[in-house]
Amino acid sequence: MVIVSTPLDHEWRTTSRHRTSEGVVRYQRCRCGAWRIRLATPRTTTVAVSAGRVRAVG
């Protein structure tokens, strides 16, 4: 597992990584419950999707 800290105090852990024709896709989750999907190509790294904490309602 890889932990990456950002200025927003997230500690991103890579939960899975997959090679694709576009590059490497990483699914990451923070200890606060936020998650994101990152695409790393030979030229750039992009956050494709990012979401806040998921909370149960009920």
Q: How confident is the model at residue 4, as a pLDDT?
A: 55
How many whole angstroms separate alpha carbon 24 and alpha carbon 17? 7
Backbone angles phi, psi at 15, to 5 degrees: -90, -30
Q: How confident is the model at residue 52, as a pLDDT?
A: 67
DSSP string, 17-36: EEE-SSSEEEEEEETTS-EE
Q: How confident is the model at residue 57, as a pLDDT?
A: 45
- Residue-wise pLDDT tens digits, 6-48: 456 778 899 999 999 989 999 999 888 888 888 888 888 776 6
* Predicted confidence (pLDDT) at residue 53 exceeds the cutoff of 80: no
| pTM for the structure as a whole | 0.64
Q: How confident is the model at residue 27, as a pLDDT?
A: 92
